[in-house]
Amino acid sequence: MDKHDKQLHSKDPGRIKQGRVSGLRLLSAIWIGKALIGLTRILGRGGTTLPGRTALTIAPDLSYLLANRLEMGTIIITGTNGKTTTAALINGILKEAGLRCIHNQSGSNLTWGIASTFIENSTWLGRINGDLAVLEVDEGAFPTLTASLQPRGIIVTNIFRDQLDRFGEIDSIQGLIQKGLDHLPSDSFLIINADDPTLASLKNSTNSSRWTYGLELKLPAHNFNNTGRDIKTCPVCFKRLAYNMIYFAHIGHYYCPSCSFKRPEVKVKLTRNNIDSKGLNHVQVCLPDQKLDLTIPLLGIYNLYNVLAAATCAIALNISSSIISSSLEKAAPSFGRMERFEKENKEIIMALIKNPVGANEVLRTILDQPGNINLIVAINDRIADGTDISWIWDVDFEQLSTTKNRITTVIASGLRAFDMAVRFKYAGFEPEQLLVTESLNQAIETALEQTAPGSRLFILPTYTAMLEMRRYLNKLGLGKPYWGGS
């Protein structure tokens, strides 16, 4: 563990010491970082970790010094799920507004990933090529980076169990986020998902402005076991919470029968959602002073929250509603998040999974789609994935086995392919129904062979598996590397 890793979990991250790096050291860090970005991309590796990690050893203040040169400051998005998509949506809105945005679109969101983003978007002389930065930030890195970057605004999407080997239970994640908020400048804004009770109890200790968003929908009941409901008690009096509506996990309209704690008043809300035969969401978003009727080309209930978060951020930045509408209706799935590819009239949809809540919602979205199901679940256990994969036992894979008549192919792959095969066995699949291969490339080749023209192949990988499988799809001529645009 290097000094940057240690900062992520320090008891009091404080502010990174600033202003002590000479101009020559800063330029040296930028030059070396840019050279490493170029080299790693020639090698097809992406260039998000090594360049930033190396540059920070030379100039620890690099991110602060470059961010401080942005005229409009920095927007940080954190939380367990939805960071990448929300950041991409905000980035799209601001670009449509004519602003030059810096954005870590690969999803590399630790201190070195942020540093790499700033290096890539600066000149060789240290000038920054942007008006503002839109950065998704890992919850563990959030306290350090908030203290350092002093952002103009923060969006917190939700808190769920995630990477138990790093974070522990959700109260640890909540504590990290609260530490970060304690460093929020008083002239900034905070945006939270009002439907998550763990966020409603967060405090604005610096008196920054506070915005809220949430759903106002009546949804039909579904058959999924709510295995991701992490919050069951009131964060104030610790009595059991009650709900008027649960959208998934512990997200919904909650109140405590024993004290005054309840879902806060919502400033930006989604009041209507109709899904057409193509899977498009026809929604109505209510802003503080008007209503927007939009067609959103993103799958899943969870993406409605990402849309609301982005719209709320745009309103806080005084972006016009016409620009918000135009941008959101053109939104495309972000890097590895319900991202679509097509090969020989076969549609491939890749959806990152990393915890029970996110995986359950991806499965629910898949089962809501028409037609047969061809599926790869690829589980790695590298540091970026989380080395503890016990979360797969809290995912409701049993729902797949209840629709076996629709399932053509099921492949367990990745470094923990055999663990995933065991999970499928206990979900109700017979051994002869499964294919198991640790080779991610082989999994893709086999699944494509077994997917009929006109059908869909769903790939559900963890983070490092997603990067590797996406590179292989790029080699097949599908899509582009993230740095080449989507």
Is 84:334 a contact under the CB 8 Å cutoff? yes
Is 108:137 a contact under the CB 8 Å cutoff? no
Q: Which residue has the tokens 């929300």?
A: 86
From 165, 388, 394, 396, the catalytic residue = 388
Is 465:440 a contact under the CB 8 Å cutoff? yes
- Closest alpha carbon to 162 in 111, 124, 207, 109: 109
- Is residue 388 among the annotated active site residues? yes
Collapsing DSSP to helix, strand or coil, 115 comes out as helix
- Which residues share a beta bridge with 407? 373
Question: What's the token pair of residue 478?
Answer: 């599908």
In the chain, the amino acid numbered 308 is L
With a CB cutoff of 8 Å and minimum separation 6, the contacts of 289 are: none
Return the H-helix or E-strand segment holding 156: strand 153-156
Is 350:339 a contact under the CB 8 Å cutoff? yes
With a CB cutoff of 8 Å and minimum separation 6, the contacts of 140 are: 8, 9, 110, 166, 167, 176
Is 74:130 a contact under the CB 8 Å cutoff? no
CB atoms within 10 A of CB 322: 10
Distance CA 476, CA 470 (A): 10
CA distances to 16, 158, 162, 366, 384 from 138, rounded to whole Å, are 17, 12, 11, 27, 11
Question: What's the token pair of residue 336?
Answer: 């590895």
- Which residues share a beta bridge with 37? none
- Closest alpha carbon to 444 in 416, 479, 471: 471
Question: What's the token pair of residue 373?
Answer: 């199901």
CB atoms within 10 A of CB 473: 20
**Burial bucket for residue 461 (CB in 10 Å: 0-12, 13-18, 19+):** buried
In the chain, the amino acid numbered 327 is S
CB atoms within 10 A of CB 359: 24
Q: How many CA atoms lie within 13 A of 109 on its CB side?
A: 27
Return the H-helix or E-strand segment holding 344: none
Distance CA 4, CA 52 (A): 11
Catalytic residues: 388
